[in-house]
Amino acid sequence: MTKFGETFGCEERILSDKKARSPGQWDKDSVMRVGTVKEIKNHEYRVGLTPESVRELVAHGHEVWVQSGAGLGIGADDKAYAAAGGIIKPDAKAVFEGCEMIVKVKEPQAGERAMLHEGQILYTYLHLAPDPEQTADLVKSGVTAIAYETVTGPGGTLPLLKPMSQVAGRMSIQAGATALEKAHGGRGVLLGGVPGVLPGKVMVIGGGVVGFNAAQMAVGLGADVTILDRDPEVLERLGIHFESRAKTRFSNRANIEQMICEADLVIGAVLIPGAAAPKIVTRDMLKCMKPGAVLVDVAIDQGGCFETSHATTHADPTYVVDGIVHYCVANMPGAVARTSTYALNNVTLPHAMRIAELGWKGALRANAHLAEGLNVSGGKVTYEAVARELGYDYVPVAELVG
């Protein structure tokens, strides 16, 4: 195992038996230089690597560069990262310029994309289908971009998306309950009601991970909950789990139009992996809703599943259309950064280790599930749904990795 001298600040560690090299020049006897930076999206406090993750990478002989202050949002200061073996760098520019792989949480913002370069690996959430500007910049940069949200697991699951979907699903009820308060523009309804007063009605569109977790929270509050989905097996599973505590209905236009007129809170939890979300709720449907009812669009990262949705931030989370309050924060889990970061690192670190050990081509050849995460590489779009949505030629991953 590589031995490192422990230092703090911006000083380099001394490598004893492996050599560092420029990005793109990976070989099995080289150290991969991995970097993580402070997230700059509005009110985003998560970080790509925890100190514990840094320690694992370093223990396997790799260098990890950490932008100063990157972990403050989760309560991890520079000393914690240095103690784990990380090299502290003063700014994002130094990390982007010097590291072969960048591990983030959110999609790179415009200023960050300008620092990416050919041969570099970007490992983060991307959500490219509704974001043509980001896609164009990644294609132009020549970077190899691996998206957490399209990495698969056994049975077609999305294990790197799941923990954030769990967090977002649970948070959607908290956010919706707050937005329902009169002081925040809502109807003034308490979801759980009180003795002698009916509880609020919650409509959850989509019975996947987000929808299931949203329903769990809403049921726990004592709300009147109905979950809609198009998959009979999902509806059966939900029915068995919730029994009489939540109702299930098949998701079709007629049922949605009926239910939405009665709902106090609607959770949009629809996902098509890697593609733009379908518009399930149209603007016309808002006309029959109760004034001050709330829509929470958890699918906003993929463009949103309500026709009237547009992305908002934690600084200004809601807006009103036709008397209906919309909550469309694109990085909901960022508000509970510590929980979210540790949950995310639990599932992203094994693949990061694999990429660092084998290089991106070797890692993708060795793991078909990780290969599904490749969205862009060397100026080519390698995820079919993204190529279709944005009009790029689709290049299969196998053509790049052999």
Task: Kindly list the catalytic residues.
Answer: 127, 301
d(CA 191, CA 178): 10
Pairing of strands 294-297, 201-205: unpaired
Alpha-helix residue ranges (DSSP H) falling in 151-290? 162-179, 209-221, 232-242, 253-262
Do residues 98 and 33 lie in contact, with contact meaning Cβ atoms separated by under 8 Å? yes
Do residues 338 and 75 lie in contact, with contact meaning Cβ atoms separated by under 8 Å? yes
* C-alpha torsion 236→222→184→163, nearest 10: -50
d(CA 69, CA 38): 7
Q: In the block, which residue shows the tokens 């957490």?
A: 148
Q: Which residues contact 102 (CB under 8 A, 6 or more apart)?
A: 34, 35, 36, 37, 48, 95, 96, 116, 120, 121, 122, 123, 124
* C-alpha torsion 196→201→207→208, nearest 10: -90
d(CA 175, CA 169): 10
d(CA 102, CA 106): 12
Helices 337-366 and 51-59, packing angle to 10 deg: 30
- Dmax of the chain from CA atoms? 73
Long-range contact set of residues 226-232: C-beta below 8 Å, sequence gap at least 24:
226/201, 226/202, 226/259, 228/203, 228/204, 228/255, 228/256, 228/259, 231/207
Do residues 80 and 1 lie in contact, with contact meaning Cβ atoms separated by under 8 Å? no
Phi-psi region of 111 (alpha: psi -120 to 50; beta: other; left: phi over 0): alpha
Give the DSSP letter string of 305-344.
SBTT---BBTTB-EEEETTEEEE-BTTGGGGGHHHHHHHH
